[in-house]
Chains A and B, each alone.
Chain A
Amino acid sequence: MSAAAESVAAAPAVKQREWRWVGNPLVLLLVAFVLLFPWLPFVSFSLLGTANLAAYYAMVAVSLVVLTGWVGQISLGQAGLVGVGAYVTGHVVRGLHVTFPVNLLWAAAAGAIVAIALGFVAVRVRGLYLAVATLIFSWMASEFLFRQRWFIKNAEVTLKPFGDPDAFPYFDWTSRRTYFYGAWAVVAAAVYLMANLRDSKTGRAFFAVRGSEVAAASMGISVVRTKLTAFAISGALAGVAGNLLLIRDQVITADSFKVEVSLFFLAIAVVGGLSSLGGAVAASILFAGLNEVFFRVEAFAGWLEVVPPVLLTAVLLLYRGGLAALGEAIQRRISPWTDKVSVLLRQRVLPAIAGAATGARRTVASAVRRAGEVPAESLNAEPEPRTPLRRRLPAPIASALARIPTSRTIPTQPRLDLDAVVASARPSQNGNAPHPVETVEPSAPSTDVALPSGAPLTWRTIQLPPVSLAAAREDRPILIEAAGVTVRFGGLVAVNNVSLTVREHEIVGLIGPNGAGKTTTFNSIAGLNEPTEGRVFIYGHDVTTWTVDQRARLGVGRTFQAIQLLPQLSVFENLLVATHVHNESGLLSHLFVGPITLAAERDGRRQVRRVAELLELEEYLDRRVADLPFGVLRMVEVARALVSGARLIMLDEPASGLDNNETERLAQILRFVRDLGVTLLLIEHDVQMVTSVSDYMYVLEYGALLAEGTPADIQRDPRVIAAYLGEEAEPVLEEASA
């Protein structure tokens, strides 16, 4: 894959958007061009029609970007959804006399409802089934739905019902100019809303689900809900596209929504770069423009059908970033001089008209950036608490909403308050506030592990008082309890009646030879497989049947043996995804960048920076995950669990793939994380590492519990020694852990 294509792969990033383009002369020219387009002398009646067709294409392409580009679910039936939107528009216009801006909502609702219905089926199965489901839907729609009299009887909309000249608002759709402004305004609004969504909690959930469903769920993201949201939004946009089509043509036929039309739409989105909104719009203009060219140039006659698949093939095989990557490449080339002009513009010309423009620039990124300019004290102040809309609803409605069975009400644990922990940290000798920081040499007395010789290990950290470990184990509350867990796979008993407890503020190690059932036990606690018998309690709740994301919402974070980060995004963006659980903003607020979203985004970014600072990952924050070494990524996963505010972190073989130095550093970090007030459960192959870091250990063999106790007890336990090394090998283990 070329570098350009890779950079586009990162395009859906939740990056902090730069608003340099406000003063960019090219952009200003473009805006002026679009606004004046219908009046330009060379713009013929047919060219205006082409521009209007492009608006329709753009709407469909944007709907595909959300579903296919961002969530990774292919839709092969978008034309069917467009058709539903178009016919429903006909019904509400002719039957209910609902006119233009309002009937958009009807079309959107119709598309969304059908998409959700399809989604409900598709989310239950994995893989390419959504693609099949949408294809089948499209087939059914063109063979059945779009042939039923009752459904298509209002397919012809004379212009009158669209508006009463005396009423307000009145749109004269017979004019192509009116349609140009109307349709492109709708497209612009959709692009604006989707750009906001992309940079919000919902957008991050989309990317997380596309990257790894398990990892997404482990951050408290409901995979099902996220996919359904994407289906609904995509369906709504497709429905709106249907509305635009009906207004444009005034009469629609089922031919516009045939199965192969869906494939054509997919081609537009892919040529645009699939995950880029701007690319989707550009590709729509390109494809509509091709109509115009092939219509005018006689030599091309008859070749129009060949071009879309050729373009699709070329993009797929040669330039996967599509038009979005092309645009970025061009922008990089010309940015030196556009920057010069834009600086000039911004310093001389814009100030005069800037007042109005600034008001319009209310987006997540700009707001957060502005927050970065305020003094540090006010940034550190608690974000003013805001009540989410659903909490402000009248009590009966709110309680009715709470009873909707789709989401189990999860008693979310309060987020681990890192600020309070840091504030309680021991001041360092030189007392440089606000964060007491000092260098801990590897031989610091707090560590009791012999260091491998090699590169000196320095890790500055805050000196935290060892949290309540002083209290006897039995006095500390139980956070995880597995009670008699048995897991059978068919006839195989992988785990047999295992009981273990993890108590607050301790590191519990779970070890065992290969095939001992460590991972199965771990997965039962994490929610990946349901025990055949026995119960699992977390924070005192019986979570045996809870899903992964429900457990995560309860306050459990985890890391993976095989790193599950989003490779195309930066470390910062990856960590930001984990703020999901404690981000209380809702979809509407995301779309319009409401105050709750802004407050939550600010808080989330602060949390990420705080954790990065604590784990010393600042230097990597802006690096792409794909470019970083494995050892750093392991720390990023620990950081991600910490960002989520979990008080309980489960680590799946954290030392695997790490060299000695990295393992040692990891052990230090785990102890540090424990001292922050977090409880850890880890399964691990590296016995030396576990015994050095754990406060308490469990040993599994053949699916059953072999021994439990402090690391010292375990090391002396003859059964454990026998299980690991055979009877006579006792001295070796002693030496290894000495």
Chain B
Amino acid sequence: MARLLVFVLLSLPLIGAYAIFSLGLVVIYRASKVLNLAHGAMAMVSAYLFNAVSEAGLPLFAALPVAVAAGGVLGWGVERLFVRPLRTVSTTAQTVGTVAAFGLLVAGAGKIWGTGGHGATRVFPEGQITIASSGIRYGDLGLFFVMLVVSAGLYVLLQRTGVGLAMRGAADNPRAASLMGVNPQLATSGAWVIGGSTAAVAGILLAAVTILHPVVLSLQAVPALVAALIGGMGSLPGALIGAAIVGGTQGLVPALPSLQRIEGSAQLLLTLLALGVMAARGERYVATDVRGGAL
């Protein structure tokens, strides 16, 4: 039992990071119907920026807001440069646009900070607390608690104020939304800023407990995508549940001796689960997605 508890504790940071990522993915998806494949890359660049300004001597309380704001700007910029210009073509093209953003961010980060990985500046103090004779680092616990704060904040912002409604309206019917006094472009940009800054938070905290690496960190958003998918792609609580399943599976599988021996068995299980969720949903036809282009 104590052994199981250890693995639960070990999965907490994963759950925290995946939850923040998938919340951001869902916010962006709801506001612009685009799958942001550049999400992890945005987080990665923010983490590198945080590391750079910290190493330049900026204290934590100043470096953190700077990097998170940079993440928001990044989100705004990706939407502005890679998604909005392709709105008239198709959502397919917009998704390819985020692939381009992913490529540019990863390649750019590699060019500036090198393609090798290294440790990042800690946000939470070094050290660990010991539970059941095994340690969990403050950074891991912190990541989980920050996730709780971020989700509570998003819940209040999106469900208790008009902001979330405006964002969804802007995506579903921009013209009707603008008649109701919502600036659809502003609402969409807002969603991307939220997505970008939360991604920055997750990226900074995750880099501190894992590794700062252009590709590795960027691909940490893939499990979050699985989580968002399991949660139904459009629901914030769903994203949280999905993240708990994905992070929990990755943390707990090593606890089961039979699965431990198979490398990647957690990924296999999650893939089967995600495909199963997809197969269980079902809608018949899409009216049309071509708005004029080949893409």
Contact = CB atoms under 8 A, between A and B. Distances in A.
Interface of A: 1, 5, 8-9, 11-12, 68-69, 72, 74, 76, 118, 120-122, 124-129, 131-133, 135-137, 139-140, 143-145, 147-148, 210-215, 217, 223, 259-260, 263-264, 266-267, 270, 273-275, 302-303, 305-306, 308-310, 312-313, 316-317, 320-321, 528, 547-548, 564, 566-568, 626
* B: interface residue count bin: 35 or more
Nearest to B276: A121
Contact of A214 (B35, B281, B287, B293): B287
Contacts of B95: 74, 128, 131
A575 B288 CA distance: 18
Contacts of A72: 90, 92, 289-290
Given A121-B278, A121-B279, A148-B263, A127 B286 contact: yes
A131 B225 CA distance: 11
A145 B96 CA distance: 26
A322 B181 CA distance: 39
B153 interface: no
29 contacts: A1-B88, A9-B294, A74-B95, A121-B279, A124-B279, A124-B281, A125-B283, A127-B33, A128-B91, A128-B92, A133-B278, A136-B225, A143-B267, A144-B271, A145-B268, A210-B289, A217-B285, A305-B110, A305-B111, A309-B100, A309-B103, A312-B99, A313-B101, A313-B104, A316-B100, A320-B93, A566-B290, A567-B292, A568-B290
B108 interface: yes
Contact of A132 (B229, B279, B284): B229
B138 interface: no
B107 A306 contact: yes
Interface in B246-295: 262-265, 267-268, 270-271, 274-275, 278-279, 281-290, 292-295
Contact of B103 (A12, A135, A308): A308
Contacts of A128: 35, 91-92, 95
What are the nearest 6 A-B pairs in CB distance? A309-B103, A144-B264, A140-B271, A9-B294, A143-B267, A143-B264
Given A125-B283, A305-B107, A309-B107, A137 B271 contact: yes
A270 B104 contact: no
A263 B100 CA distance: 9
Given A133-B275, A305-B107, A564-B288, 19 more contacts: A1-B88, A11-B294, A126-B283, A127-B286, A129-B278, A131-B35, A132-B278, A139-B219, A139-B271, A140-B267, A144-B264, A212-B288, A214-B287, A305-B111, A308-B107, A312-B103, A316-B82, A317-B85, A564-B287
Contacts of A68: 92
B89 interface: yes
A114 B7 CA distance: 33
Interface in B75-98: 81-82, 85-86, 88-93, 95-97
B52 interface: no
B181 to A, nearest CB: 26
Contacts of A74: 92, 95-96
B108 A306 contact: yes
Contacts, number: 198
Contacts of B268: 140, 144-145
Nearest to B99: A263
Contacts of B90: 72
Contacts of A309: 100, 102-104, 106-107
Given A9-B292, A69-B294, A316-B100, A147 B285 contact: no
Contacts of A139: 219, 222-223, 226, 267, 271
A211 B294 contact: no
A567 B219 contact: no
A364 B293 CA distance: 26
Given A133-B275, A259-B219, A310 B104 contact: yes
A260 B289 contact: no
A132 B293 contact: no
A223 B226 CA distance: 26
B215 interface: yes
A135 B281 contact: no
Contacts of A547: 284
Contacts of B106: 260, 305, 309
Most chain A CB inside 10 Å of its own CB: which residue of B226, B265, B268, B290: B290
A217 B284 CA distance: 11
Nearest to B226: A136
A128 B25 CA distance: 13
A264 B292 CA distance: 25
Contacts of B274: 132-133, 136
Contacts of B103: 263-264, 267, 308-309, 312-313
B37 interface: yes
Contacts of A129: 229, 278
Interface string B199-223: 0000000000000000100110011
Interface of B: 33, 35, 37, 81-82, 85-86, 88-93, 95-97, 99-104, 106-108, 110-111, 115, 215, 218-219, 222-223, 225-226, 229, 262-265, 267-268, 270-271, 274-275, 278-279, 281-290, 292-295
Contacts of A564: 287-288
A471 to B, nearest CB: 38
A626 B292 CA distance: 9
B237 to A, nearest CB: 19
Contacts of B229: 129, 132, 136
B219 A260 contact: yes
Contacts of B275: 118, 121, 133, 136
A692 to B, nearest CB: 31
Give the interface centre of B37, B100, B282 by most chain A CB atoms within 10 Å.
Answer: B100
Given A127-B91, A214-B287, A1 B292 contact: yes
A139 B82 CA distance: 24
Given A9-B292, A260-B215, A317-B85, A132 B35 contact: yes
A120 B276 CA distance: 11
Contacts of B33: 127
Contacts of B86: 316-317
A213 B287 contact: yes
A568 B294 contact: yes
B43 to A, nearest CB: 15
A735 B288 CA distance: 41
Most buried by A among B86, B106, B223, B288: B288
Given A131-B35, A266-B99, A125 B292 contact: no
Nearest to A210: B290
Given A74-B95, A76-B37, A316-B86, A567 B111 contact: no
Given A124-B279, A128-B35, A306-B107, A144 B265 contact: yes
A330 to B, nearest CB: 19
B288 A125 contact: no
Contacts of A69: 294
A1 B88 CA distance: 10
B35 A313 contact: no
Contacts of B111: 302-303, 305-306
A313 B88 CA distance: 16
A217 B288 CA distance: 12
Interface centre among B82, B115, B264 (most CB of A within 10 A): B264
A125 B293 contact: no
A263 B88 CA distance: 23
B285 A214 contact: yes
A8 B89 CA distance: 14
Contact of B278 (A124, A213, A316, A528): A124
